[in-house]
Amino acid sequence: MMAAAQTPPPVLLSSACERNKEPILAVLRDWLPNKALVLEIGSGSGQHAIFFCQQIAGLCWQASERPEVVADLRSQLVAVPGASLAPGSRLLEPIELDVTCCDHWPRPSEGNRVDALFSANTCHIMPASALPQLLAGAARLLRPGGLLLLYGPFQDGGVHTATSNAAFDAHLRSLDPAMGVRDAKELQEQACSLGLEPLADVAMPANNRILVLGRRR
């Protein structure tokens, strides 16, 4: 008997996504409302979008990426069979979104506010000057009571929580001084000024965390 052909790996593949998707899924199950509409910032390979829609029934996931790479993301998601998704879940067509460009953000209205905005491993890649724009965009687009969930490594009051995070921070800054592990306390203070309240700080494997913030009702 011939061996079954293996599914070829996607053109874009993030090993980090493969490692962290299960722990993140557990947090999403705890926090997302039923039939949630979620906007993901910086979807990259689309692995999170695909996996979460395969695991959570009724989930509607809007992936996004910067204009120069959104075509690759689109080709990844178009190839996903609808039958592989959980009952009632939908993968929407990815949109172009650069958090620093106001014109890229969807125009908030009662019909398109989202239940949650999720982003993984982007805060330390985008320049620190872009973080207030990310927070402001989330505050505009989230429905009252909606959630902002940010996954990645974070400092606390300028102090790294692990030596591996300190080394990672130094590596990022050697590549580009605009990058770096961000300060959770500073981020939460910025968020509060925009109407986003810190709700939880969830410890994750490999010295990562998920910061959960909620838009005031």
Q: What is the pLDDT of residues 18-47, one digit of tens each?
A: 999 999 999 999 999 999 999 999 999 999
pLDDT on residue 179: 96
Q: Residue 86 is which amino acid?
A: A
DSSP H stretches of helix in 32-69: 47-55
The pLDDT assigned to 213 comes to 98
Residue 7's pLDDT is what?
39
Is 60 within 8 Å of 37 (Cβ atoms)? yes
Contact 67, 96 (CB under 8 A): yes
Query: Which of the residues in the chain have pLDDT under 70?
Result: 1-12, 108-111
Please write the tens of the pLDDT for every residue from 170-195.
999 999 999 999 999 999 999 999 99
Q: Cα separation of 194 and 22, whole Å? A: 31
**What is the per-residue burial (b if ≥16 Cβ within 10 Å, else e) of 191-214?**
beebbbebeeebebeeebbbbbbb
- C-alpha to C-alpha distance for 177 and 95, rounded to whole angstroms: 28
* Residues 192, 196, 199, 205, Cα dihedral to 10°: -100
The domain 15-215 is classified under which CATH number: 1.10.4080.10, 3.40.50.2300, 3.40.50.150, 1.10.10.10?
3.40.50.150
pLDDT of the residue at 22:
97
Token representation of residue 35: 């039939």
Most distant CA pair in the chain, distance: 64
